[in-house]
Chains A and B, each alone.
Chain A
Amino acid sequence: MIARTIERDVSAIVQEAVEKHGAKRDALIPILSDVNKALGYIPAEAFQEVQKQLNAEEEHTYVSKSQLFGLASFYDMLSTKPRGRHVVKFCENAPCHVVGGKSVWDTLSDRLDLKNGETTADKKWTLVTTSCLGLCSVGPVVLIDDDLYGNVTPDQIDEILARYE
């Protein structure tokens, strides 16, 4: 149940992340993760800012925009395209599948009227499949923003979705 404020100053968000994690190469993923968390995704300006702030004298860590983009687009938790206010991630792997995952997915897809990877026109929901979330004994598992739902059945979907603005 996290609302994202996209209007915030990109430069300030990046600065906060850089100050928190440092300006070295091993801070790149944590920095990008923070930016993704604050903005819901990582816009082009953010990559520019990260490059600029890391290259500033003190640490002079040089990393190009293309390397940052290649990095961000590699990892599933980071998005280079805007996402809905609420991101619904459904575990599509075998342990969740074997205990009835497909019917949960069909229900989600039907209720939100979204195919995998799509965002609703009003930008409220994005629906994606994801890989194992590490809760395999209580599958099927659904992750909405930071909220984990286990032992999900199709008839619970409406009530779960209703919790989000």
Chain B
Amino acid sequence: MLQITINGKQIEVPEGTTVLRAAEKAGINIPRLCDHKELTPYGGCRLCIVEVQGVRVPMASCTLPVSNGMVVNTETEALKKSRKFILSMLFSERNHFCPFCQVSGGDCELQNAAYHEEMTHWPIQPGWNNFVVDTSHPYFVLDNNRCILCRRCVRACAEMAGNFTLSVAERGAKSLVVADTDVPLGESTCIKCGSCVQVCPTGAIIDKTSAYQMHDKDLTEVKSICTGCSVGCSIKLMVRDNRIIRIEGGWHGSVNHGVLCEHGRYDPMNESRKRITTPLMKKDGKLEPVSWNEALKAVADQLRPLSGQKDGIAAIVSTKLPAETLTAFKDLFAHNEIVTTTEEGMPTASVTKFAEKQGSFEGKLDVLSNADTVLCIGVDAGRTHMVAGFMFKRNMPKGTRLINIDPEENELNDLANLYLKPKAGSDLALILGLQAVIVKEGLGRSPLALPDTDSLIQKAVEETGISRDQLTQTARVLANSITPVILFGKGITAQRDENLVEELYNLAVLVGAVDSERLGLLSLKGEANSLTATLLGLDQIFELNGHKAVFVALGDDYVSRSFVERVSKVSYLVVQASYESKLTAQADVVLPVTVWSEQEGHYINLDGRVQKTQKVFSAPENVRDNLAVLNELATRMNISLESNWKQAILARKSSVALN
């Protein structure tokens, strides 16, 4: 620990702390612009300069490491004068027309800094040069006229999303922020994660949807969890008048630390489906509005006699619903043969099956942060679960290599150092082939008994269509890595073969991805509560065999055309959903329910973290909570819902440790 005295106050900080952070710890705020607590310090704006005893000129506190016994002053007259001058220089550099800018009046850190220094005008004439305003992007505007070249956006694009789309071009006063090789942002490699918007201190990068809606200080902030997929990012909702103005990544989130993907940030803002606002029942072939009582009575009357009968009821629930709802659903339809989810366990069944034998074997997401090689197999981390992809993409300039294996076109193929395109369905042969090469060349970290490695290699080459050289190279690269991680997904798990998972596990152990100290093997699962569903045993494929009734609890989830086809032939279809769809159009009864932001509940993400969503809004008048509807039905059907979700999920061994 090091001692530092700031403005007369003495505190102790660990080695490596910067003077700026030390001051914060001492309760002293040093004005700054380019610094951001989640990004590596830059030291460019120079607003944070402080006087250090024994040093002739002031130093930037954001990049200055504390040394033992340092004495620092942050509020001398000379420093105040300097700050004012630096701000004047910034205002003179570009066209800062505050009256027309939507961050003016509280949300602009440049303006706030100037007010803090009691400035009232610009003392230095600007140059009135014109800079590019880029409106080509669907979600945000990049306006170089308001830029202070703090480089937060460049750092965010690099360190949060790992996409490296933004950079600064030219030098000196001609510097400006550009995308790729100076192309319009809307035509660039930008993946629309919005990290740059979230960190921009001025109105240089602004969110189109929420612009001019209200100042942040007048919005209500609610922290919640994104239910878009099983990564489970923390989000911060900015709301007013019962609607979301903007979604931001939650800096507090232990999973995502502030980053979000396009889906988490913008999909809810782009919701275009029509909300169902009243219970509906089919009368004379047409869906008519009815009262809740009539609808629930009809459903209960229909389902009560069928409950427990063979080929009676098939019950399907969406894995986007909270754990409480899933548990209640399971209990409600416990006596029936088919109780499963819309995912039918595709992302999880084989994994959980293997866990029954092996115990918990999957690692946590943060193992991706120090992987030197990431092998992605059966997963497109550039399209789904994107934040998991960010976690290793951002380390690629430091040397992390990516091996991508996918029989289909994969978004990350261009980024991958090695990519293999095996024939569909040849995964087992491929994995065994990789194992065989490693065992044959003696590169394994732990022993693995493999009979006849030559024939396994031959088989791999024949079945996958991949050349022997490519197979060997891939195996060698993987085996020679020091901290490899194997990331897999639906491409593997949808084959529902726990032997496949087991062989992948064996490969992981063989190359040292899994050992006594680290678990460098994880599957990305599917939707928000995929893991919860599988632990509750809701993960079989359903096959309708002349079933009399189907109950689908969809929540606000989507349905595929094939799903609709599979269930709609049944004679009695009940759908509990938030939005109109082809499925609700086919239903006999439609029960309108809450969406994700209107209910609270628990979710377990892909690496075992239990998190909770908040109820942000009240549901529209005639719409009811998902769980409440199930409870009501249970009462009417004389079924008691006794399980507590916390215990229920312990029924099966989780593939990843829960916490």
Chain A residues close to B by CB (< 8 Å):
44, 47, 52, 55-57, 60, 62-70, 73-74, 80
Contact = CB atoms under 8 A, between A and B. Distances in A.
B181 A57 contact: no
B418 interface: yes
B182 A55 contact: no
Contacts, number: 60
B418 A57 contact: yes
A97 to B, nearest CB: 20
A56 B165 contact: no
A80 B169 CA distance: 10
Contacts of A63: 397
Nearest to B171: A74
Top 6 closest A-B pairs, CB basis?
A: A64-B164, A70-B167, A66-B167, A62-B396, A73-B169, A60-B417
Given A57-B477, A69-B178, 11 more contacts: A44-B183, A55-B415, A56-B417, A57-B401, A57-B417, A62-B397, A64-B164, A67-B167, A69-B181, A73-B170, A80-B181
B179 A66 contact: yes
A94 B473 CA distance: 58
Contacts of B477: 57
Interface string B302-341: 0000000000000000000000000000000000000000
Interface in B161-201: 163-171, 178-183, 189
Interface in B371-430: 396-397, 399, 401, 414-415, 417-418
A43 B168 CA distance: 17
**What is the size category of the interface that chain B forms with chain A?**
20 to 34
Contacts of B180: 64-66, 69
Interface of B: 163-171, 178-183, 189, 396-397, 399, 401, 414-415, 417-418, 473, 477
Given A57-B473, A60-B399, A80-B181, A66 B166 contact: yes
A70 B168 contact: yes
Contacts of A74: 169-171
A65 B181 contact: yes
Given A47-B181, A57-B418, A80-B182, A66 B399 contact: no
A70 B171 CA distance: 9
Contact of A69 (B163, B167, B399, B414): B167
15 contacts: A47-B181, A56-B417, A57-B477, A62-B415, A63-B397, A66-B164, A66-B180, A67-B164, A70-B167, A73-B169, A73-B170, A73-B182, A74-B171, A80-B169, A80-B182
A10 to B, nearest CB: 13
A62 B162 CA distance: 11
Given A57-B418, A60-B417, A66 B181 contact: yes
Given A60-B401, A63-B397, A69 B169 contact: yes
